[in-house]
Amino acid sequence: MKAVYIHGFAGSIHSDTITNFRKYYPDLEWCPLEVNHLVDESVKKINDFLAANPDVKYLIGSSLGGFYVLCADFAGRKVVINPEEFAGYDKNNDKIFWMNGDGFHMKKSVVEEEITLCGIARWLGIETTDNTGIGIVPLT
């Protein structure tokens, strides 16, 4: 019986978590998947694995991995550990970014170099001898 484990943000398939799952639940065939911070890419990878492995009985995720588990197309048993919030807080404990089913939300940000939005336009900081500003460059 297969169980898929999805690690959290900046985690790894080589973490102590998967080592402990294998130790305490040796009857399961553990299939940890390496994912990244890109939601669509990671959920697609999980869904592709599940489609190719219909014998998976459990889909387990922690932190950001738990969020991905909730997004996955899987009719079997899902176990999520602390998935309800992937968020960052400032020094005043105010939430400044978070993820939910609709995407990534941000209240405050400092961008050091550039922003590319939807593959359509890039915002760049521009400095001249007389002015500092923002340049918007179309990409299409």
More confident residue, 4 or 87: 4
pLDDT greater than 90 at residue 34:
yes
Place of tokens 């102590």: 16
Band (pLDDT 50/70/90 cuts) for residue 92 is confident
3 state DSSP class of 40: helix
pLDDT of residue 84: 53
In whole angstroms, what is the distance from residue 40 CA to residue 56 CA?
21
77: β partners:
58
pLDDT greater than 70 at residue 85:
no
pLDDT of residue 24: 93
Pairing of strands 56-62, 77-81: parallel
Band (pLDDT 50/70/90 cuts) for residue 42 is very high
Mean pLDDT of 86-100: 72
Question: Would you list the domain boundaries of the chain?
Answer: 2-84, 110-140
Task: Check residue 119 and give left, alpha or beta (phi > 0: left; psi -120 to 50: alpha).
Answer: left
pLDDT greater than 80 at residue 101:
no
Superfamily in which the 2-84 domain is placed by CATH: Alpha/Beta hydrolase fold, catalytic domain (3.40.50.1820)
Other CB atoms within 10 A of residue 37 CB: 12
Residues 6+ away with beta carbon under 8 Å from 108: 90, 96, 97
pLDDT digits (tens, 9 = 90+) for 120-129: 888 888 888 8
